[in-house]
């Protein structure tokens, strides 16, 4: 049995990752902040597929809540094998109209939240000298779009955090990689106007947005022992957008 924590697993990409891992034998901890009914739906699907897991409500931008979550998970299962740091938000706005609360909210969740979860899980993984951390980055970490100074800075931080952590934890048997999706059809991109979507599609060589299933396939692969020699990588998954 292997245990995976997926943060922000009630919706979108996290939901797909939780369901994918759950249907491949992982016991999945479905973390969410608000959407309890949606998180329950994810657990129900995992159980219908013959898997198992638990729900855990925690705001992962708050260190105390992360510590308690990891403690409860470890007390329950006595192991944590995989962490998918996925919970993230976007608050696009031009820099000259920047709201300080958006800056704080993005960095607190997209960056500090990843550090909190990685630290607490790595402490448990190091005891077993085995574990996998997968950080959900974004193509915006390397590819610039106007209005995304804050979001792209958080994802750039995630990319470098991933590489440095991989180097730091490799000798303790912990691998760390990031997945950098382009446009993925979730509620996160629902805010884009049809006009904007059309414009972006023209720049995607594969002429489609990705879906959460595309991302979950990479996450499953990175978690598996078949990729046990891969660490410190940022895997881009964007239909060619950033080429
Ligand atoms: P989404 O559909 O908006 O879902 C966000 C998830 O994060 C929800 O499950 C939400 O839970 C959870 N969440 C939000 N704040 C949280 C908090 N403080 N603590 C714990 N959980 C929290 O987002 P998504 O599109 O799936 O994006 C997931 C990740 O992929 C993010 O890191 C994002 O930056 C990255 N990404 C997305 C795209 C894209 O095009 N969609 C592209 C590149 C990268 P509740 O429902 O309970 O609030």
For position 191, what pLDDT does the model report? 81
Q: How many angstroms does the Cα of residue 214 sit away from the middle of ligand 1?
A: 16
Each residue's pLDDT tens digit, 97-136: 999 999 999 999 999 999 999 999 999 999 999 999 999 9
**Cα–ligand 1 centroid distance for 171 (angstroms):** 31
Averaged pLDDT for residues 46-59: 98
Q: Which CATH class is domain 2-237?
A: alpha beta
Any residues with Cβ below 6 Å from ligand 1, and which?
A: 7-14, 31-35, 59-61, 86-89, 109, 136, 138, 181, 183-184, 186-189
- CB distance 107 to 30 below 8 Å: no
Q: Which atom of ligand 1 is nearest to the CA of 109?
A: 18
User: What is the per-residue pLDDT across 162-216, written as a single tens digit (0 to 9) for each?
Assistant: 999 999 999 999 999 999 999 999 988 888 899 989 999 999 999 999 999 999 9
Q: CA separation (Å) from 88 to 8, 50, 180, 193? A: 7, 29, 13, 21
Q: How close is the Cα of 7 to the center of ligand 1, in Å?
A: 8
pLDDT at 142: 97
Cα 225 to Cα 130: distance, rounded to the nearest angstrom: 11
- Percent residues over pLDDT 90 in the chain: 97
Using most ligand atoms within 8 A of CB, pick from 32, 88, 242 the residue to mutate for ligand 1. Answer: 88
């Amino acid at each position: 049995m292997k245990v995976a924590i997926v943060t922000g697993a009630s919706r979108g990409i996290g939901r797909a990752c939780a369901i994918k891992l759950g249907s491949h034998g992982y016991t999945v901890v479905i973390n969410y902040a608000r959407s309890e009914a949606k998180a329950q739906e994810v657990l129900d699907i995992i159980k219908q597929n013959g898997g198992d897991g638990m729900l855990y409500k925690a705001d992962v931008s708050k260190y105390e809540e992360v510590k308690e979550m990891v403690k409860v998970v470890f007390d329950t299962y006595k192991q944590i094998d995989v962490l998918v740091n996925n919970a993230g938000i976007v608050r696009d706005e031009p820099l000259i109209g920047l709201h300080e609360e958006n800056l704080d909210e993005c960095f607190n969740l997209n960056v500090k939240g990843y550090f909190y979860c990685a630290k607490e899980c790595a402490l448990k993984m190091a005891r077993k000298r085995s574990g996998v951390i997968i950080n959900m980055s974004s193509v915006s970490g390397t590819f610039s779009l106007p209005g995304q100074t804050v979001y792209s800075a958080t994802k750039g931080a995630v990319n470098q955090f991933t590489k440095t952590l991989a180097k730091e934890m490799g000798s303790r048997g912990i691998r760390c990689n990031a997945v950098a999706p382009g446009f993925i059809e979730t509620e996160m991109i629902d805010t884009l106007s049809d006009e904007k979507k059309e414009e972006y599609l023209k720049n995607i060589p594969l002429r489609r947005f990705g879906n959460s299933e595309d991302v979950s396939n990479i996450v499953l692969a990175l978690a598996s022992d078949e990729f046990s020699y891969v660490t410190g990588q940022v895997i881009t998954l964007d239909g060619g957008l950033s080429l």
